[in-house]
Amino acid sequence: MANVRRPLAGIKVLAVEQYGAGPYATQLMAELGAEVVKIEAPAMGGDVSRATGPFFLGSADSQFFQTFSRSKKSIALDIKTPEGRAAFEGLVAQADMVVDNLRGDQPGKLRLTYDDLKGVNPAIVCGHLSAYGRGNSRAGWPGYDYLMQAEAGLMSLTGEPDAPPARLGVSMVDFMTGTMLAFGVVSALLSAQTTGQGCDVDVSLFDVALHQLSYPAVWAMNEGYKVQRLPRGAHPSIAPSQAVKTADGWGLVMCQTPKFWEALCDLAGAAALKADPRFADIPSRHANRPALSEAMDALFGTRTTAEWTALLGGKVPFAPILEMMDALDNPFVAEVGMRDVVAHPDRAEGLAMLACPVKIDGERMPGARAPKLGEHTNEILGAAS
């Protein structure tokens, strides 16, 4: 693994970041080879996620922090002081990017924009991730993932129809926005390397959350069509494409094309279901969704989830609905190497982590622990002076 090619090797990123969305973006870049340096104010205890429980690792470190800052470096530096600002600009002169995930009014106040830094480094790319964006009426508003799921309409689409609106089980808007930031700044870097001119790149939680409405939003804007929450998390257009009750649990089947419906009926020995005129084609199955749902439960109740997985796997799109620990212990997770253990000085047995989801030339990027607060201050600031 020592010879794994990392496509962002040689790229230097300065990160003024906190908590989840911004650190998620820079971690993606770090695991792909960028040198990511967290600029952490020591008087504030560094990144706030260092103090986010319930599970801690020695001083100013937590499992939450380790989740989002692996493979990075840390320097203790207050960029609000004259000395800290001078040291920061010395680093900017040698860097490729400066990224932050502050409120939208803060990059200007802290002089982190391209206009502020282009005199130091004309090719610098300045990435800004905020709750609501910069230069608008909400620029100074704090904001979090769950709020975006609410206001952007995602919660209205999630959950059972007779239950209250529900949020996604994890902060997916944070992660999607972080991914958008990584994509945006790396794209801008390609241009900067060609033209010698950097720029500002902005993404916001709100914009990304709204963007994730995708085709239901297109239907709504053009046709006034309101996508309703359907029982069992069903697809709005195709049936059966929903959760089904098995003999011992739950699964999810997706017959998105006629061939998969026919294959399901044939493999399950359900000739009568296949011949039923109510379910003859996609429009019929959609029109008769309640009856089809009952028929699906009756069919899938004849076997366990594991038996259905074995019968349908690779032939009909089907997946078991698993609890989180069962999902992590899935043999396929081990087969593809999506679990990792990284060395950590405060955990003798190492820290179990999820591996980087990106492969290069068939190799998954190896991980490394997140840094201690200020761990690389002397190394980096000494080299910059």
60 domain residue, yes or no:
yes
Q: Are 229 and 157 in contact (CB under 8 A)?
A: yes
Phi, psi of 349, rounded to the nearest 5 degrees: -80, 0
Which residues, in sequence order, are CB contacts of 79 under 8 Å at separation 6+? Answer: 16, 39, 41, 85, 88, 110
Whether residue 137 sits in one domain with residue 197:
yes
Q: Is 73 exposed, middle or buried (0-12, 13-18, 19+ CB in 10 A)?
A: buried
Whether residue 172 sits in one domain with residue 307:
no
Whether residue 139 sits in one domain with residue 30:
yes
Regions of the chain where pLDDT drops below 70: 1-2, 383-385
Query: Which helix (DSSP H) or strand (DSSP E) does residue 353 occupy?
Result: strand 347-354
Q: The domain that contains 30 carries what CATH number? A: 3.40.50.10540
CA distance 302 to 352: 38
The pLDDT of residue 382: 86
Angle at 323 between CA 354 and CA 300, to 5 degrees: 130
What does the pLDDT look like over 37-51, one tens digit per residue?
999 999 999 999 999
Angle at 284 between CA 281 and CA 285, to 5 degrees: 85
352 domain residue, yes or no:
yes
Which residues, in sequence order, are CB contacts of 229 under 8 Å at separation 6+? Answer: 156, 157, 158, 159, 160, 161
What does the pLDDT look like over 102-146, one tens digit per residue?
999 999 999 999 999 999 999 999 999 999 999 999 999 999 999
CA distance 139 to 126: 17
Whether residue 173 sits in one domain with residue 35:
yes
The pLDDT of residue 1: 47
- Residue identified by tokens 């997770």 is 333
329 domain residue, yes or no:
no
CA distance 285 to 303: 23
The pLDDT of residue 384: 59
Which residues, in sequence order, are CB contacts of 242 under 8 Å at separation 6+? Answer: 230, 231, 232, 233, 234, 235, 252, 253, 293, 296
Whether residue 148 sits in one domain with residue 35:
yes
Whether residue 206 sits in one domain with residue 265:
no
202 domain residue, yes or no:
yes
Q: How many domains does the chain have?
A: 2
Q: Of 276, 292, 320, which marks where a domain is finished?
A: 320
303 domain residue, yes or no:
yes
Q: Are 274 and 329 in contact (CB under 8 A)?
A: no
Whether residue 170 sits in one domain with residue 263:
no
Whether residue 351 sits in one domain with residue 301:
no
259 domain residue, yes or no:
yes
Whether residue 282 sits in one domain with residue 357:
no
Whether residue 281 sits in one domain with residue 200:
no
297 domain residue, yes or no:
yes
Helices (H), 238-323: 258-268, 271-275, 282-287, 289-300, 305-312
Closest Cα to residue 202, out of 127, 297, 147, 121?
127
The pLDDT of residue 4: 81
What amino acid occupies position 346? D
Whether residue 376 sits in one domain with residue 301:
no
2 domain residue, yes or no:
no
The number of C-alpha atoms within 13 Å of 293 and in the hemisphere containing its C-beta is 15
List the domain range (segments joined by +) for residue 273. Answer: 250-320
- Cis amide bond preceding 54, omega within 30: yes
What does the pLDDT look like over 328-381, one tens digit per residue?
999 999 999 999 999 999 999 999 999 999 999 999 988 899 999 999 999 999
Whether residue 83 sits in one domain with residue 55:
yes
The three-class DSSP label of residue 110 is coil
